[in-house]
Structure 1
Amino acid sequence: MLPRIAIIGRPNVGKSTLFNRLVGRKLAIVDNTPGVTRDRKEYEARIGGRDVILLDTAGLEEAPPDTVAGRMRASSEAAIQQADLILFVVDAKAGLTASDRAFAAWLRRQKVPVLAVANKTEGRGGTMAALEAYELGFGDPVAISAEHGEGISDLHSTVAGMLPEEPEEEEEDDKDRPLRLAVVGRPNAGKSTLLNALLGEERMITGPEPGLTRDAVTSEFNDAVGRVRIVDTAGMRKKARIVEGLEQMSVGATINALKEAEVAVLVLDALLGLDEQDLRIARLAEREGRAVVIALNKWDAVEDRIAARRGIEDTLQTSLAQLKGITVVAMSAATGRGVDKLMPAVRETMERWNKRVPTGELNRWFEGALSRHQPPLADGRRIKLRYATMPKARPPTIVIFGPRAEDLPEDYRRYLVNSFRDAFDMPGVPIRLQLRGTSNPFVDKE
């Protein structure tokens, strides 16, 4: 297990900026609005020559437990219990506050080593301002500017000296690489509740307020097959309703999470059914080449289940033909009922998405498809398709060769894709069809 480092501090002291600086990527959304980070985000990083898990947490605030701020604080406190080292970040420009001192007193009672990090020390007087952090009682503070990259090398070396001793290195089998899963959907569909149910802990902040999750938050767990790296994403509203820059960044983080995933779980609110925004999200996942499984959440609250299921299946058949046969798992994330069926469905869909068809089988299918339905005429001439290959999976990609193959009309392309899907049992998987015309050596020759 890699050592875990939690970044802790008041809202808006620069924790997410430091997180991005240390992982070397803009993974956490950064904005001047206090409280942008609500759920703890974790990512592998290399600090002081050591591989670590870095945790970005919500800002520590004094608040009642039943409020959003209170639930954010509880999540941050849970991260502290799992950490091997805490980076307690304070704003050197603003100076120490009563909250800083109160949280420092609480941290001193924990059984985890703490390093005080004085952020925003760029410019004149920055280093002097950092000296105030000695009052916190955690020894020598490290003065940095996360935004400008100043003092980061000192932070690396100090952190390396405070980490537990490095265990003997073990080689990781390629087969042990985690399945990459993205949880997507509209706001308040129950994505974070589902992630908590899968993890078996209150990792994500949940509640009746829509839009609680603002960033794409990564976690890991083990199912019956192996490791799963799961990303909970912000809810995606209709484009016309997205007005705030912060929400635009959240949607951008969701799209990036889809690009890095292998399978997308589209969470639907069974009480609301499948609407156009859900279909847009599914089409986005398909365009990115991701396999899709639908989690039909809040199923326990549906009264007429037969009508609800029929309505969803009819909509999928008419409006999401490119993912024909998509798997739908009815469940309740809040009660846990049916959640155990989700990961087996995800694993099965992943196998289809990763499936390669041998060339011999592929061309036997291809010849059969052509004999059942010949290609139509184009400009009065028949299109002759010669052979097919499958150069890659993830998603399954078929390349068909023949003179003027690129002139095939759209309906015949759909016929080939659906025929391939049925022949090789690939429901719910995007299939790419590429057409390559073969050149005639006698054209344009004198």
Structure 2
Amino acid sequence: MSKPVVAIVGRPNVGKSTLFNALAGERISIVKDTPGVTRDRIYADITWLDQSFTMIDTGGIEPESSDIILKSMREQAQIAIDTADVIIFLTDVRQGLVDADSKVADMLRRSHKPVVLVVNKVDNFEKFMGDVYEFYNLGLGDPFPVSASGKLGFGEMLDEVCSHFNKKADIDEEDDRPKVAIIGKPNVGKSSIINKLLGKDRVIVSDIAGTTRDAIDTAVKRNGQEYVFIDTAGLRRKSKIKDEIERFSIIRTVTAVERCDVAVLVIDATMGVTEQDAKIAGIAHERGKGVIVAVNKWDAIEKDDKTMNKFKNDIKMTLSFMPYAELLFISAETGQRLEKLFTTIDMVVQNQTLRIATGILNEILAEAVALAEPPSDKGKRLRLYYITEVSVKPPTFVIFVNDKELAHFSYIRYIENKIREAFGFKGTPLRFIIRERKDN
């Protein structure tokens, strides 16, 4: 099940980042060895009561500005609006209702998405309530007063946000076609791959303002099985600001990855594997999705008998945090090995949902412990009592131990490798949850 996506939008300086950071708190799950994933925290996983969702912080929207940075913020907010399930529209009680707020409200109304109107900087509810009521004039329903800096009023606001999720879940549940997100840096050939699979060029979005539908879903049928491809290429934007382009592509990637079962990371063979590729791969890894690395433009490379191995080693080094990723060398131009993409997707989807019987898992665990003694500290040794698989997509295992502190990352990685030796689990990350069970 993909998590719902919630975007915070609003004019500059109304407190979006303050609200984002207050909600994200320190609970952002940072996978230690994933490069650059949460450096500039544009997105975070939030849990409220029993609901979890992905929250995106957009730049400020200046509806009428032609200044390049503000224009690019507006486009970025439009991406977030297009791909979000629910939008938090943040306004500022101190500045009051301004003309630009009404313009943003118009933009949001056109999206036909659920909008939760939030009025920030309400540090004293009695004092400011009169000013909050003014925001009813936007015609977006009840305004929710909060103070992002004081962390006041969050409960009612989050209840309202979460109330819109269930409708999405019903739609998602019915569609069991494998969903594949094609991700990667700009210009690596993502759209070319989908066009080749379809055998015809699709027209990507007209240039009418407001039609930046980014993730374009395309159904492709192969051997009686239908797949949904989520293309993140979208529009080529002539942004002059490198950071902005990168931020765009990250927002786009996060929302596409959130909805997919398998992410295909496209790398340009002529450019080699880069840190930015690793950053994009990290998004799929962090979210526990299946991953296939497709090295595109392979036909354009001068090759000898060592070329492929050198490339494989470079990828292993740069993407060292995801040794499970499947690797394909393809060409969208010639169609080379594109058919193999489907069999690889099928395999990864199968592995993402593979369930292993508890008895067999515990046999593997016992054998692993016998082969390599668990770590100890100050005379106390780690004991592993029991392992069981608790969920799939990705396969998630709980291991019960006597002392969590002793369960070093490297030993758990060793257990993971033993499980992979037995069952493969190619193309999917595995998750391990360590629980303590005290000796009686």
**Corresponding residue number in structure 1 for 2:243:** 243
**Corresponding residue number in structure 1 for 2:271:** 272
Of 99, 107, 125, 1:147 maps to 107
1:439 aligns with 2:399: no
C-alpha distance after superposition, 1:216-257 (max 9, x if no partner): 222222222522121111499xxxx7433x763442121111
5 Å-filtered alignment, 1:95-244, equals 147=107, 149=109, 177-203=176-202, 205=204, 215-234=214-233, 242-244=242-244
**Corresponding residue number in structure 2 for 1:355:** 354
5 Å-filtered alignment, 1:198-347, equals 198-203=197-202, 205=204, 215-234=214-233, 242-244=242-244, 248-304=247-303, 306-347=305-346
SS in 2 for 1:387: strand
Is the Cα contact below 8 Å between 1:177 and 1:227 reproduced in 2?
A: no
Is the Cα contact below 8 Å between 2:381 and 2:406 reproduced in 1?
A: no
Is the Cα contact below 8 Å between 1:192 and 1:204 reproduced in 2?
A: no
Larger Rg: 1
Report the TM-score when normalising by structure 1: 0.57
5 Å-filtered alignment, 1:37-48, equals none
Alignment coverage as a number of residue pairs = 290
Cα distance in 1, alignment partners of residues 286 and 337 from structure 2: 29
**One-letter code aligned to 1:222:** K
**One-letter code aligned to 2:437:** T
Give the share of equivalent positions with the same residue, in percent.
31
Cα distance in 2, alignment partners of residues 214 and 266 from structure 1: 21
**Corresponding residue number in structure 1 for 2:427:** 428
SS in 2 for 1:386: strand
Higher relative contact order (CA 8 A, sep 6+): 2
Cα distance in 2, alignment partners of residues 319 and 414 from structure 1: 19
SS in 2 for 1:195: helix
Instruction: Name the CA shift for 1:251/1:282 in 2 (closer, same or farther; >3 Å).
Output: closer
Is the Cα contact below 8 Å between 1:300 and 1:332 reproduced in 2?
A: yes
Instruction: Name the CA shift for 1:147/1:271 in 2 (closer, same or farther; >3 Å).
Output: closer
Is the Cα contact below 8 Å between 2:375 and 2:406 reproduced in 1?
A: no
Cα distance in 2, alignment partners of residues 225 and 322 from structure 1: 35
Cα distance in 1, alignment partners of residues 282 and 172 from structure 2: 34
State the 1:189 CA deviation.
0.6
**Corresponding residue number in structure 2 for 1:8:** none
Cα distance in 1, alignment partners of residues 197 and 374 from structure 2: 47
**One-letter code aligned to 2:243:** V
Is the Cα contact below 8 Å between 2:376 and 2:406 reproduced in 1?
A: no
Instruction: Name the CA shift for 1:173/1:266 in 2 (closer, same or farther; >3 Å).
Output: closer
Cα distance in 1, alignment partners of residues 271 and 395 from structure 2: 33
Cα distance in 2, alignment partners of residues 201 and 371 from structure 1: 57
Gapped regions of structure 2 (runs ≥ 5):
1-55, 65-70, 86-101, 113-170, 206-211
C-alpha distance after superposition, 1:90-124 (max 9, x if no partner): xxxxxxxxxxxxxxxxxxxxxxxxxxxxxxxx99x
SS in 2 for 1:229: strand
**Corresponding residue number in structure 1 for 2:383:** 384
Is the Cα contact below 8 Å between 1:406 and 1:437 reproduced in 2?
A: no
Cα distance in 1, alignment partners of residues 399 and 377 from structure 2: 17
**One-letter code aligned to 1:193:** S
Instruction: Name the CA shift for 1:247/1:269 in 2 (closer, same or farther; >3 Å).
Output: closer
State the 1:178 CA deviation.
1.4
Instruction: Name the CA shift for 1:312/1:225 in 2 (closer, same or farther; >3 Å).
Output: farther
Instruction: Name the CA shift for 1:173/1:391 in 2 (closer, same or farther; >3 Å).
Output: closer
Report the TM-score when normalising by structure 2: 0.57
1:417 aligns with 2:416: yes
Cα distance in 2, alignment partners of residues 296 and 325 from structure 1: 16
Cα distance in 1, alignment partners of residues 203 and 426 from structure 2: 31
Cα distance in 2, alignment partners of residues 188 and 337 from structure 1: 19
Instruction: Name the CA shift for 1:183/1:227 in 2 (closer, same or farther; >3 Å).
Output: same
SS in 2 for 1:147: helix
Cα distance in 2, alignment partners of residues 323 and 203 from structure 1: 33
**Corresponding residue number in structure 2 for 1:370:** 369
Is the Cα contact below 8 Å between 1:192 and 1:205 reproduced in 2?
A: no
State the 1:407 CA deviation.
2.2
SS in 1 for 2:412: helix
Instruction: Name the CA shift for 1:373/1:311 in 2 (closer, same or farther; >3 Å).
Output: same
SS in 2 for 1:328: strand
Could you say what the CA RMSD is over the residues aligned between the two structures, in angstroms?
4.0
State the 1:147 CA deviation.
3.1
SS in 1 for 2:351: helix
Structure 1 residue runs of 4 or more that deviate by more than 6 Å after TM superposition: 29-32, 34-39, 172-176
Cα distance in 2, alignment partners of residues 420 and 175 from structure 1: 32
Is the Cα contact below 8 Å between 2:289 and 2:394 reproduced in 1?
A: yes
Instruction: Name the CA shift for 1:433/1:204 in 2 (closer, same or farther; >3 Å).
Output: farther
